[in-house]
Amino acid sequence: MPTLDLDRCRLAYDVTGSGPPVVQLHGLLSDRASNAAGGLDLASGLAGHRAVRYDARGHGCSAAEPVAEDWSWPRLAADLLDLLDAVVPGEPVHGIGPSMGAATLLYAALARPERFRSLTLCVPSTAWASRRGQAAAYRRGAELVERHGLEAYLRAGRAAPRPPAVADRATHPPRIDPGLLPTVLRGAAATDLPPVHELARIGLPTLVLAWSEDPTHPLSTAQALREALPGDALHVAGTPGGLAQWPRRCADFVRAVEAGPPVGGAG
């Protein structure tokens, strides 16, 4: 498995296929394997493309040091840009990411829009007003792990209701070393998206995919991003069948972008 050494971390990644490059990210406490199991391997529908998938620092097969600031979304965006420069230098990519991955893409596109051809933002997480409550939940989770251990944290997670779109999917434990988990949660608690008016500077074609009945990934964030970024639709999955359509929606969107003129930073 190829790896890339960066500041205080080693990223594990893989590259499959050939053709225009696509990079696929994952959410907090997840990894590449969990994306596939959870129905979020959206690059799977993109035949004829070169897919770069990687585990964020400290997740899955990627190593990291216990520095909470390293899990801020701008820091994760810097990791992504370093990976792209190493693996697909000089080539604009189609970015695909859920939750933490979507936030990472937004910060990366703000910093270097020329690195991207399009963005597919899946289940955007809490942001702005809704982030405060989620941040408190992350801090409580970190304390729970430290005081009572990983199993107590897992029990609390299993008690929470699940969105209908993933009701048929198996749950998975955090793809993070238990000793690192409190640090990662505190890092997530301390980060947020920039103001909407800053995000509106991103001139890239954007697809927004969301699911319903999930306070950790509220529709309010998805709707705000849809209004701020170039694009004309927000697709909301309310059932497993709706989620199953996402790889096709993503593939149709990417191919439509490729068939049209360059937009924004991709020009």
pLDDT tens column, 183-205 = 999 999 999 999 999 999 999 99
Q: Is residue 263 scored above 50 in pLDDT?
A: no
**Cβ neighbour number for residue 161 with a 10 Å cutoff:** 9
Distance CA 213, CA 165 (A): 9
The answer to whether 249 and 209 are in contact (CB under 8 A) is yes
> What's the confidence (pLDDT) of residue 265?
37
The answer to whether 119 and 207 are in contact (CB under 8 A) is yes
> What's the confidence (pLDDT) of residue 266?
35
SS3 content of the chain, % helix, strand, coil (to 5): 45, 15, 35
Distance CA 198, CA 196 (A): 5
Tens digit of pLDDT for each residue in 104-146? 999 999 999 999 999 999 999 999 999 999 999 999 999 999 9
Q: Which helix (H) or strand (E) holds 130?
A: helix 129-148
Domain ranges across the chain: 3-259
**Region 16-44 average pLDDT:** 94
Q: What is the dihedral of CA 93, 99, 103, 105, to 10 degrees?
A: 0
* CATH architecture for segment(s) 3-259: 3-Layer(aba) Sandwich (3.40)
| DSSP annotation of 68 | G
The answer to whether 103 and 199 are in contact (CB under 8 A) is no
More confident of the two residues 204 and 263: 204
> Structure tokens of 5?
């050494």
Tens digit of pLDDT for each residue in 216-256? 999 999 999 999 999 888 999 999 999 999 999 999 999 99
**Cβ neighbour number for residue 132 with a 10 Å cutoff:** 12
Q: What are phi and psi of 235, to 5 degrees?
A: -100, 125
Contacts of 232 (CB under 8 A, 6+ apart): none
Give pTM, 2 decimals.
Answer: 0.96
Sequence letter at residue 144 = L
